[in-house]
Amino acid sequence: MKPRVFLSYSKKDRGYVEQLAMDLRSARIDVWYDDWEIPPGASLRAKIFEEGISECDLFLLYLTQNSRDSSWVRQELDAAFVIELEMRGGFMAIFVDSDDTRQSLSPDLRSRRIPTINYESYSRCLLELTARSWEALLKKRIAKANENNDTTIIKLEKRIAEQELELVNLKRSGIVDQEKILQELSETSLELNGHSISLAQIFQSNSENLARGATAIRIESLVGKMYGLTTDQLWDLKIDLESEVLGQLVILGLIRVQPPVGEWSEIFYLTELGKNLAFEIRCQSKKNQNK
Alpha-carbon span 54 to 2, nearest angstrom: 16
β partners of residue 214? 268
Q: How many Cα neighbours within 13 Å face the side chain of 285?
A: 11
Number of C-beta neighbours around residue 109 at 10 A: 17
Would the pLDDT of 225 be above 80? yes
For residue 163, name the pLDDT band (cuts at 50, 70, 90): low
Alpha-carbon span 16 to 21, nearest angstrom: 9
Q: What is the pLDDT of residues 105-120, one digit of tens each?
A: 888 888 888 888 877 7
Which one, of 196, 188, 123, lies nearest residue 160 by Cα?
Answer: 188
Q: Which fold has domain 4-126?
A: Rossmann fold (3.40.50)
Q: What is the pLDDT of residues 234-270, one digit of tens each?
A: 777 766 777 778 887 887 788 888 776 666 678 888 8
Number of C-beta neighbours around residue 124 at 10 A: 13
Tell me what the pLDDT averaged over the chain comes to. Answer: 81
3-state secondary structure of 109: helix
For residue 164, name the pLDDT band (cuts at 50, 70, 90): low
Q: What is the pLDDT of residues 69-80, one digit of tens each?
A: 899 999 999 999
Would the pLDDT of 174 be above 50? no
- The fraction of the chain above a pLDDT of 70, given in percent, is 84
For residue 67, name the pLDDT band (cuts at 50, 70, 90): very high
Mean pLDDT of 131-146: 80
Alpha-carbon span 251 to 243, nearest angstrom: 10
Residue 248, H or E segment: helix 248-251
- Of 87-101, 142-156, 252-266, the poorest mean pLDDT is in 142-156
Would the pLDDT of 152 be above 60? no
Would the pLDDT of 145 be above 70? no
For residue 151, name the pLDDT band (cuts at 50, 70, 90): low
Instruction: Evaluate if pTM is beyond 0.85.
Output: no
pLDDT at 216 (0 to 100) = 84
For the chain, domain boundaries? 4-126, 176-290
Same fold yes or no, 4-126 and 176-290: no
- 39 versus 98: which is more confidently predicted? 98
pLDDT at 175 (0 to 100) = 46
Would the pLDDT of 170 be above 60? no
Q: Which fold has domain 176-290?
A: Arc Repressor Mutant, subunit A (1.10.10)
Alpha-carbon span 140 to 4, nearest angstrom: 11
Using a 10 angstrom Cβ sphere, with 0-12 exposed, 13-18 middle and 19 or more buried, the burial of residue 88 is: exposed
Would the pLDDT of 169 be above 60? no
> Are the CB atoms for 200 and 185 separated by under 8 Å?
yes
Q: What is the pLDDT of residues 2-34, one digit of tens each?
A: 889 999 999 998 888 898 899 888 888 899 988
